[in-house]
Amino acid sequence: MLDAYSAVVTSVAERLTPSVMNVELRNTVGRRTGTGSAFAFSSDGLAVTSAHVVDEAGGGVATLADGRAFDFDVVGSDPLSDLAALRLAADDLLPVALGNADQLRVGQLVVAIGSPLGFAGTVTAGVVSALGRSLPTRQGKNVRLVENVIQTDAALHPGNSGGALADSGGRVVGVNTAVVGAPIGQGLGLAVPINRITRQIISSLITEGRNRRAYLGVAGGIRPLPPRMAEKLGRSEGVEVIEVVPGSPAELAGLVPEDIVVSVDGDIIHSAGDLQASMTSSRIRHQVELEIIRNGALQRVTVVPSELN
């Protein structure tokens, strides 16, 4: 007989283990350059992993828990979200069910499945120990924070990166990406959340091979709204512009430090992550209306974002 906790973990493991794989990266001469985990995204050979797992490799070999091995190519990689898509030479994969990390709560049970140290189908369990963490990522000169990263105490080890983090219903809510070590903490792991934004990124990687982003050209942080404005807008914070990049779309539109951005095309902006997430490919070279607070008054500014290179 299994207790309730064991029954949940066992159920999730049985459901997801066939979908999770070990990936071995190889260079152009067939030499192994790295290893990690991935999970099946569609039955016709698409899989998802972490961008830092594939790095600059073009392909490799993916091995399922049942021992089957398939060659794969890297379809697309986005270091700024630490997500990548693979195409396996397979047509009968068992895809995972995707959940929504935005609905997670601290203390909720999660199960991590991957292939740490090359051992396929390894299962660990724990809880969501924190939400709203930020993970710094870099691509060339561009630095970005992946927002709302999931922190968990489910044990992660080298090789877990790219594997699945699932809720108690067996729905994948995150892509395991990093292990937090000393002096910050021991036994903690981070996962890129699966939500509306990252689903869009994965879709772009599959269809276009990359994820295009609009570029505004500001650095900012959360700032409480003046009491009168907070009462008028029905919310307590926005994003203060701290720096405007010279020659950027933001400068051309007239944004200046100390402006507080409260909405983009009517969508409420609470944090720098919200502002960052709003810069989707659909807004590249299109007019975007920002609602800002300047000198205590509401104003509207029209900006035309360029594409982030």
Active-site residue set: 52, 82, 161
**Angle 192-99-89 (CA atoms, 0-180°, nearest 5)?**
75
Q: What is the DSSP letter of 101?
A: G
- Rounded CA separation 133/115 (Å): 24
**Distance of alpha carbon 166 from alpha carbon 38, whole angstroms:** 13
Residue (of 188, 197, 246, 23) closest to 98 by Cα position: 197
Q: How many residues does the chain have?
A: 309
Q: Which amino acid is at 164?
A: A
Supply φ then ψ for residue 101, to 5 degrees: -65, -20
Contacts of 138 (CB under 8 A, 6+ apart): 79, 80, 144
Helix (H, G, I), strand (E, B) or coil at 131: strand
Strands 97-98 and 171-180: parallel
Residue with tokens 């986005």: 78
200 secondary structure, DSSP code: H
* Residue that has been written with the tokens 């360029």 in this structure: 306
Amino acid, single-letter form, for residue 53: V
Rounded to whole angstroms, the Cα distance separating 70 from 88 reads 6
Strands 214-215 and 306-307 come out as antiparallel
Q: 20 — phi, psi (to 5°)?
A: -100, 140
- The Cα 276–Cα 144 span in angstroms is 9
Residues 242, 302: Cα–Cα separation, whole Å: 19
